[in-house]
Amino acid sequence: MVKGVVTFTCLIVVLMGSTALAGAPTDAIKETTDKIIHIVTDPGLKGAEKSEKKARMIREAVDERFDWVEMTRRALARHWKDRTDEEKKTIIKLFSDLLEQTYLEKVEGYSGEKVLYEGEQVDGKYGVVSVKIVTRKDTEIPVKYRVKNEGDGWRVYDISITGVSLINNYRKQFNSIITRSSYEELVEKLKAKVGSR
């Protein structure tokens, strides 16, 4: 019986291809991804003069899905609780700007890559959504969205691309900058990076 159900589910996954499996975390990711793809492929938003509007729309779509507070908290890790509320506010803004700037360029270069939803795992208020991005050259890039639901829907707190975690990457860099020099130095570095683009 169980085997039958598993086979059936597998069949459905194979048959439906890119269609999402029924499940809240995947639906949430799919909704945002579709929204962004729609924005970047919209012919009405082509051209240099529209790029600012396009960037703003992408930012709005990303903002409602990404939990910047949680991401910054996780990236700062044990240095988070030493910060004042004011400092927290500043670094959340800087960190989200940095991530958006870094990834906006990549999203704007979208050229018909396919996004396949490969399933999800839910464990209480945590979930993982596995996605495969297939480029036009048929290279497959596995992406994992780690999501958390605090009652206001599934929101992303970490992304792993080919197994490398974004938060782990920044956590190590932040930690090394703070322990080597100071928290102020980290803020300066982030400001310089965000401002330089």
Partner 1 sequence: MKKFDLELTVGIFMILGIVCLGYLSIKLGRMEIFTPEGYEVQAVFSNGGGIKSGSSVVIAGVQVGRVKAVTLDDYQARVIMQLPSNLKIQEDAIASIKTKGLIGEKYVEITPGGTEEVISPGGKIRDTQPAVDLEGLMSSYVFGKL
Q: Is 144 helix (H, G, I), strand (E, B) or coil?
A: strand
Looking at beta carbons only, is 124 or 195 nearer to partner 1?
Answer: 124
Q: Is 5 a residue that touches partner 1 (CB under 8 A)? A: no
Minimum distance of partner 1 from residue 171's CB (angstroms): 5
From 84, 111, 162, 196, residue interacting with partner 1 (rule: CB under 8 A):
162
> For partner 1, which stretch binds (CB under 8 A), given 20-28, 47-55, 71-79, 87-95?
71-79
Q: Is 41 helix (H, G, I), strand (E, B) or coil?
A: helix
Q: Is 29 a residue that touches partner 1 (CB under 8 A)? A: no
Instruction: State the CB neighbour count (10 A cutoff) for residue 56.
Output: 11
Looking at beta carbons only, is 55 or 70 nearer to partner 1?
Answer: 70
Closest CA to 37 of 162, 133, 121, 124: 133
Q: Is 18 helix (H, G, I), strand (E, B) or coil?
A: coil
Q: Is 65 a residue that touches partner 1 (CB under 8 A)? A: no
Q: Is 3 a residue that touches partner 1 (CB under 8 A)? A: no
From 13, 59, 80, 98, residue interacting with partner 1 (rule: CB under 8 A):
80
Query: Are 161 and 152 spatial neighbours (Cβ–Cβ below 8 Å)?
Result: no
Q: Is 77 a residue that touches partner 1 (CB under 8 A)? A: yes
Q: ∠167-169-175 over CA atoms, to 5°? A: 95
Q: Is 21 helix (H, G, I), strand (E, B) or coil?
A: coil
Q: Is 172 a residue that touches partner 1 (CB under 8 A)? A: yes
